[in-house]
Chains A and B, each alone.
Chain A
């Protein structure tokens, strides 16, 4: 699912709005899923972790989301 905030959503598309509200962009399930994928690929499960600001892996598929502005206590 494309990650969109409720503000960005088409106001007429109430089904999508409900979906967005129920499925936040970074729930614990999503984090664990990404970590599992990283581990399966033989990488450090580093997504949204402490080392993010020094990450040099520019082609990481989760880079934008990992570096997204998110309060430390929500990571």
Chain B
């Protein structure tokens, strides 16, 4: 296969790319946050959901043909996509298309990441892309996929894998790669018990970010072959990539800050601890992930609500939030919010104190509550005087407590009935 670089290089590549976002996973390590929704639909950063990051990256990169593969408890995700991502112009060849498991190739659900794509093979054919960009729907980062596509074309690769260096101790959670001096991948192992070190950087391993560019014809062939393999788990990391590394041209594209060359921001908010700390990081004066950056905006759907309101300014009865992010529709009434993220339409009532916490939409923190180091799920109503985050034993008996000491409170734990969509 020959490649050439036309004058309109980047836009030609991005226009001929179909992005497929794998958004069917539950993300069970997030516990109660994903009992009623898929991980990509989990709220993040005050007014977004996790899936807004790969979607915004696509649009900002000029990739405007996007399929979102859904499966587990997808309703809130689908609703979010309908409300916030329906702006593409179909008549101009742009779309965000929902691709739920619908038994197109057999009678089953998506049985692995590769199977999820394989089950939509006729749809991929119909869109006739030159490149297929496979993305996870559950990571927080800002990336120009144009750079990744450029690497892919430049190297005349069959597959290009975005990667980053991670400490060896964390590497067993990822696909770990070995590369030669030219950046060609010569070894790939999914979640290895003993990850291989980067020879030039002891103590670190090269981890796959689960972001792949495939030349479309190559992908379709590889998926067909994999579907016939009874021993395969039909997973990109476990089956498609290890096989491709042995036989085909697989290249690594390190994910770095394009300006500084340093490792770029990327978070897998897969556990309650990492979810809480990624939200807390946003509060910093100059956070690593800058949501106020207008050059690379993260788009979302926001509820229509008035600006946040802080009422009462009497001594001992002052409504205030400091060192915090407070979304629209919130009312802080004679209460203190410190170093916390409040999503839309949260109420914090008289004399309550919320510190180091993440409060999801429509939660109500009743009068005299004291909440610390806690994630409060959407719609929870905390009764007057509730205290959370000060007595670990008591918290463990009522709520979910992470290894790092973050407490998760859901309506179920409060015996409150669910009458809304999360």
Interface residues of chain A, those whose CB is within 8 Å of chain B, are 5, 7-8, 25, 50-54, 64-65, 67-74
Proximity string of chain B (102-120) to chain A, C-beta cutoff 8 Å, 1 when within and 0 when not = 0000000000000000000
Q: A51-B7, A68-B259 are in contact. List 15 more A-B contacts (CB 8 A).
A: A7-B286, A7-B292, A51-B5, A53-B9, A53-B147, A54-B154, A64-B258, A69-B142, A69-B258, A70-B295, A72-B61, A72-B62, A73-B59, A73-B60, A73-B62
Partner of A64, one of B9, B62, B150, B259: B259
Main SS at interface, chain B: loop
User: For the complex, what is the distance from the CA of A74 to the CA of B296, rounded to whole Å?
Assistant: 9
Proximity string of chain B (246-264) to chain A, C-beta cutoff 8 Å, 1 when within and 0 when not = 0000000000011110000
Asked whether any CB of chain A lies closer than 8 Å to the CB of B180, the reply is no
Partner of B60, one of A64, A65, A67, A72: A72
Give the shortest distance, in Å, between A51 (CB) and chain B (any CB). 5
Closest to B62 in A: A72
Closest 5 pairs between A and B when the two form their complex, measured CB to CB:
A53-B150, A72-B62, A71-B60, A67-B258, A50-B9
Partner of A53, one of B8, B146, B260, B297: B146
Asked whether any CB of chain A lies closer than 8 Å to the CB of B11, the reply is yes
Given A50-B10, A52-B10, decide whether A71 and B296 contact each other with a Cβ distance below 8 A: yes
Asked whether any CB of chain A lies closer than 8 Å to the CB of B144, the reply is yes
B258 lies within 8 A of A72 (CB): no
Partner of B295, one of A7, A53, A71: A71
Give the shortest distance, in Å, between A35 (CB) and chain B (any CB). 15
B9 lies within 8 A of A72 (CB): no
Partner of A54, one of B5, B259, B295, B296: B5
A68 lies within 8 A of B258 (CB): yes
A50 lies within 8 A of B7 (CB): yes
Give the shortest distance, in Å, between A8 (CB) and chain B (any CB). 6
Closest to B257 in A: A69
Proximity string of chain B (5-36) to chain A, C-beta cutoff 8 Å, 1 when within and 0 when not = 10111111010000000000000000000000
User: For the complex, what is the distance from the CA of A39 to the CA of B286, rounded to whole Å?
Assistant: 37
User: For the complex, what is the distance from the CA of A71 to the CA of B11, rounded to whole Å?
Assistant: 12
User: For the complex, what is the distance from the CA of A72 to the CA of B144, rounded to whole Å?
Assistant: 9
A69 lies within 8 A of B144 (CB): yes
Chain B residues with CB below 8 A from A67, complex form: 258-259
Task: Name 22 A/B residue pairs within 8 A (Cβ), A-sorted.
Answer: A8-B286, A50-B9, A50-B11, A51-B9, A53-B9, A53-B10, A53-B146, A53-B147, A53-B150, A54-B5, A54-B9, A54-B154, A64-B258, A69-B296, A70-B295, A70-B296, A71-B59, A71-B61, A72-B11, A72-B146, A73-B59, A73-B60
B295 lies within 8 A of A68 (CB): yes
Given A53-B146, A53-B147, A53-B150, decide whether A69 and B295 contact each other with a Cβ distance below 8 A: yes
Asked whether any CB of chain A lies closer than 8 Å to the CB of B293, the reply is yes
Given A68-B259, A69-B144, A72-B14, decide whether A50 and B295 contact each other with a Cβ distance below 8 A: no
Chain B residues with CB below 8 A from A25, complex form: 295
User: For the complex, what is the distance from the CA of A8 to the CA of B292, rounded to whole Å?
Assistant: 11
